[in-house]
Amino acid sequence: MGLVVLLGSFAATLLLGVPVAFAMGISAALTFWFEGLPLLMTFQRTISGISAFSLLAIPFFIFAGELMLHGGIARKLVNFAGTLVGHVRGGLGSVNILSSMLFGGISGSAIADISALGSLLVPAMKERGYRADYAVNVTVTSSIAGIVIPPSHNMIIFAIAAGGGVSISKLFLAGVVPGILMCLCLAIAAYVLAIRHNYPSETFPGWRAVLVAAAESLPGLVTAIIIIGGVLSGVFTVTESGAFGALYALALTGIVYRSLSREDFRLAVVNSVRTTAMVMILIGFAASFAYLLALYQVPAQLSDTLLSLTQNKILILLMINLMLLVLGMIMDMAALILICTPIFLPIARSLGMEPEQFGIMLLVNLGLGLCTPPVGTCLFVGCVVGRIRIEEAVRGIWPFYIAIAGALLLVTYVPAVSLGLPGLLGL
Amino acid sequence: AEEWRGWNIHVEEYPVSMAWSALAELVEERTSGELTAKIFHSGVLGSQPDAIEQLRLGVIDFGVFNLGPMGQAVPEANVTLLPFIFRDVPQMYALMDGDLGEAIGEGMRERGIVPVGWYAAGARSFYNNEAPIESPEDVAGMKVRVMNNDLFVGMIEAMGGNATPMDFAEVYQSLRTGVVDGAENNPPSYESTNHFEVAKYYSLTEHLIIPECLCISLKSWDALTPEQQEIVTQAGQESATYQRELWDEREAASLETLGSAGVEINEIADKTAFQEAMAPVYDAYTADNPDMAPLVEMIRSAE
Amino acid sequence: MTAPNRLTAGLDVVLRLLRNACLVVASICLVVLIASFGWLVFGRYVLNATPTWVEQLSLLLVGYITFLGAAAGVHDDGHLGVSFLRDGFGPRVSSVLRSVSDLIMTGFGLVMFTASTELVRFGWSSQLPMLNLPEGMRAIPAATCGLLVALFCGVRALRRMLGDAPATDAFLLENL
Ligand code: NA
Ligand code: NA
For the residues B207-227, what does the mean pLDDT come to?
95
pLDDT tens figures, A41-52? 999 999 988 988
Selected residue with higher pLDDT from A387 and C1: A387
pLDDT at C43: 87
- Residue B300 Cα to ligand 2 middle (Å): 63
Interface probe for B, chosen from A41, A50, A288 (most Cβ of B below 10 Å), is A41
pLDDT tens figures, A318-353? 999 999 998 888 777 888 888 889 889 988 998 899
Contacts of A278 in chain C (CB under 8 A): 69-70, 73, 78-80
For the residues B209-227, what does the mean pLDDT come to?
95
Per residue, the 3-state secondary structure of A74-113, as one string, reads HHHHHHHHHHHHCCCCCHHHHHHHHHHHHHHCCCCCHHHH
Angle between helices C3-42 and A262-295 in degrees, nearest 10: 90
Which letter does DSSP use for residue C57 in this model? Answer: H
pLDDT at B259: 94
**Amino acid type, B260:** S
For the residues A68-76, what does the mean pLDDT come to?
82
pLDDT at A68: 81
Provide the CB-side half-sphere exposure for B290 (13 A, CA): 1
Contacts of A269 in chain C (CB under 8 A): 27, 30-31
What are the angstrom distances between the C-alpha of A19 and each of A204, A294, A366? Answer: 47, 23, 18
Task: With CB atoms and an 8 Å threshold, state whether B57 touches A41.
Answer: yes
State chain A's mean pLDDT as an integer: 87
Q: Are strands B124-128 and B201-208 parallel, antiparallel or unpaired?
A: antiparallel
Torsion C139-C140-C141-C144 (CA) sign: positive
Contact at 8 Å (CB) between A323 and A365? no
- Residue A244 Cα to ligand 1 middle (Å): 16
Q: Look at A68-72, A245-249, B47-51 and tell me which has the smallest mean pLDDT.
A: A68-72
User: Is C77 in a helix, a strand, or coil?
Assistant: coil
For the residues C169-176, what does the mean pLDDT come to?
36
pLDDT at C171: 37
Nearest CA in chain A to B9: A163
Nearest CA in chain B to A49: B46
Nearest 5°: CA angle at A270, between A267 and A273? 145
CA distance B179 to chain C (A): 8
Nearest CA in chain C to A378: C80
Measured in degrees and rounded to the nearest 5, phi and psi for residue C125 equal -90, -10
CA distance C125 to chain B (A): 7
Inform me whether the pLDDT recorded for A122 exceeds 90: no
Nearest CA in chain C to A333: C80
pLDDT tens figures, B262-280? 999 999 989 999 999 999 9
For the residues A381-407, what does the mean pLDDT come to?
88
Measured in degrees and rounded to the nearest 5, phi and psi for residue B244 equal -65, -40
Task: With CB atoms and an 8 Å threshold, state whether C49 touches B73.
Answer: no
Task: With CB atoms and an 8 Å threshold, state whether A38 touches B58.
Answer: yes
- Contacts of A307-315 with CB under 8 Å at 24 or more apart are A307/A347, A307/A350, A313/A351, A313/A352, A314/A413
Identify whether A422 is preceded by a cis peptide bond (ω within 30 of 0). no
Q: What is the ipTM of this complex?
A: 0.84
What element of type H or E holds A166?
none
Interface B:C, Cβ pairs < 8 A: 40
pTM over 0.90: no
- Residue A106 Cα to ligand 1 middle (Å): 6
Q: Look at B92-106, C13-27, C126-140, C159-173 and tell me which has the smallest mean pLDDT.
A: C159-173
Which residues 364-403 in chain A show a CB within 8 A of chain C? Answer: 373-375, 377, 380-381, 384-385
Task: Please report which ligand is nearest the Cα atom of A325.
Answer: 2
- Contacts of B236-241 with CB under 8 Å at 24 or more apart are B236/B23, B236/B116, B236/B117, B237/B116, B237/B117, B238/B23, B238/B26, B239/B19, B239/B20, B239/B22, B239/B23, B239/B26, B239/B117, B239/B214, B240/B19, B240/B117, B240/B118, B240/B119, B240/B214
CA distance B42 to chain C (A): 23
State chain B's mean pLDDT as an integer: 91
Inform me whether the pLDDT recorded for A13 exceeds 90: yes
- Residue A152 Cα to ligand 1 middle (Å): 4
Helix locations, chain C, DSSP H:
3-42, 54-75, 84-87, 91-123, 140-161, 171-175
For the residues B207-217, what does the mean pLDDT come to?
95
Interface probe for C, chosen from A9, A117, A270, A273 (most Cβ of C below 10 Å), is A273
For the residues B174-202, what does the mean pLDDT come to?
91
For the residues B130-156, what does the mean pLDDT come to?
93
Inform me whether the pLDDT recorded for A230 exceeds 90: no
Contacts of B169 in chain A (CB under 8 A): 53-54, 164
Which letter does DSSP use for residue B98 in this model? Answer: T
For the residues B123-152, what does the mean pLDDT come to?
93
Farthest CA pair distance, chain A: 72
Count Cβ atoms below 10 Å from residue A177 Cβ, excluding itself.
21
User: Is A198 in a helix, a strand, or coil?
Assistant: coil
Percent of chain A whose predicted confidence (pLDDT) is above 70 = 99
Which letter does DSSP use for residue B205 in this model? Answer: E
Percent of chain B whose predicted confidence (pLDDT) is above 90 = 73
Instruction: Specify the number of domains making up chain C.
Output: 1
Task: With CB atoms and an 8 Å threshold, state whether C56 touches B148.
Answer: yes
User: Is B117 in a helix, a strand, or coil?
Assistant: strand
Q: Is A20 near chain C, with CB under 8 Å?
A: yes
Percent of chain C whose predicted confidence (pLDDT) is above 90 = 48
Q: What is the CA radius of gyration of chain C?
A: 20
- Contacts of A98-101 with CB under 8 Å at 24 or more apart are A98/A183, A99/A74, A100/A139, A100/A142, A100/A143, A100/A145, A100/A146, A100/A183, A101/A142, A101/A145, A101/A146, A101/A149, A101/A179, A101/A180, A101/A183
Q: How far apart are the first and last CA of chain C?
A: 30
Identify whether B83 is preceded by a cis peptide bond (ω within 30 of 0). no
Inform me whether the pLDDT recorded for C150 exceeds 70: yes
**Amino acid type, A163:** G
Of B143, B165, B167, which has the smallest distance from its Cβ to C130's Cβ? B165
Selected residue with higher pLDDT from A192 and B165: A192
Q: Are strands B264-267 and B201-208 parallel, antiparallel or unpaired?
A: parallel
Q: Is C115 near chain B, with CB under 8 Å?
A: no
Task: With CB atoms and an 8 Å threshold, state whether B166 touches C55.
Answer: yes
Contact at 8 Å (CB) between B250 and B188? yes
Do you know the residue count of chain B? 303
Helix locations, chain B, DSSP H:
15-30, 48-57, 67-73, 89-96, 99-110, 150-158, 171-177, 187-192, 218-222, 226-260, 272-277, 279-288, 293-300
For the residues B147-166, what does the mean pLDDT come to?
90
Q: Is C114 near chain B, with CB under 8 Å?
A: no
Angle between helices A40-49 and B48-57 in degrees, nearest 10: 180
For the residues A61-88, what does the mean pLDDT come to?
84
Q: Is B91 exposed, middle or buried (0-12, 13-18, 19+ CB in 10 A)?
A: middle
Separation CA C109–CA C99 (nearest Å): 15
Q: B165 CB contacts (<8 Å, ≥6 apart)?
A: B145, B146, B147, B148, B149, B152, B153, C50, C52, C55, C129, C130
Q: Is A16 near chain C, with CB under 8 Å?
A: yes
Q: What's the pLDDT band for C170 if we cut at 50, 70, 90?
A: very low
Of B73, B153, B163, which has the smallest distance from its Cβ to C126's Cβ? B73
Separation CA A374–CA A366 (nearest Å): 14
Closest to A237 in 3D by CA, of B173, C61, C35: B173
Selected residue with higher pLDDT from A189 and A123: A189
Inform me whether the pLDDT recorded for C132 exceeds 90: no
For the residues A23-28, what does the mean pLDDT come to?
95
Measured in degrees and rounded to the nearest 5, phi and psi for residue C54 equal -65, -45
Separation CA B3–CA A20 (nearest Å): 33
User: Which domain does C72 fall in, by range?
Assistant: 3-174
Q: What's the pLDDT band for C81 if we cut at 50, 70, 90?
A: confident
Task: Please report which ligand is nearest the Cα atom of A227.
Answer: 1
pLDDT at C172: 37
CA distance B170 to chain A (A): 7
Which residues 275-294 in chain B show a CB within 8 A of chain C? Answer: none
Which residues 107-166 in chain B show a CB within 8 A of chain C? Answer: 143, 148-150, 153, 162-166
Contacts of A48 in chain B (CB under 8 A): 46-47, 49-50
Q: What's the pLDDT band for C173 if we cut at 50, 70, 90?
A: very low
Interface probe for A, chosen from C36, C66, C77, C99 (most Cβ of A below 10 Å), is C66
Q: Is B222 exposed, middle or buried (0-12, 13-18, 19+ CB in 10 A)?
A: exposed
Task: With CB atoms and an 8 Å threshold, state whether A234 touches B173.
Answer: yes
pLDDT at A293: 86
Measured in degrees and rounded to the nearest 5, phi and psi for residue A183 equal -60, -40
pLDDT at A36: 87
Interface probe for A, chosen from C57, C82, C113 (most Cβ of A below 10 Å), is C82
Separation CA B164–CA A146 (nearest Å): 34
Inform me whether the pLDDT recorded for A136 exceeds 90: yes
Contacts of A377 in chain C (CB under 8 A): 80
Task: Spell out the domain ranges in chain A.
Answer: 1-425
- Residue C161 Cα to ligand 2 middle (Å): 32
pLDDT at C60: 95
Separation CA B37–CA B21 (nearest Å): 9
pLDDT at C3: 61
Inform me whether the pLDDT recorded for C111 exceeds 90: yes
pLDDT tens figures, A273-304? 998 898 889 889 988 998 898 888 887 788 88
Inform me whether the pLDDT recorded for B60 exceeds 50: yes
Contact at 8 Å (CB) between B46 and A41? no
Q: Which of B207-211, C78-82, C85-89 has the highest mean pLDDT?
A: B207-211
Which letter does DSSP use for residue B133 in this model? Answer: -
Q: Is A217 near chain C, with CB under 8 Å?
A: no
Inform me whether the pLDDT recorded for C165 exceeds 70: no
Task: With CB atoms and an 8 Å threshold, state whether A277 touches C65.
Answer: yes
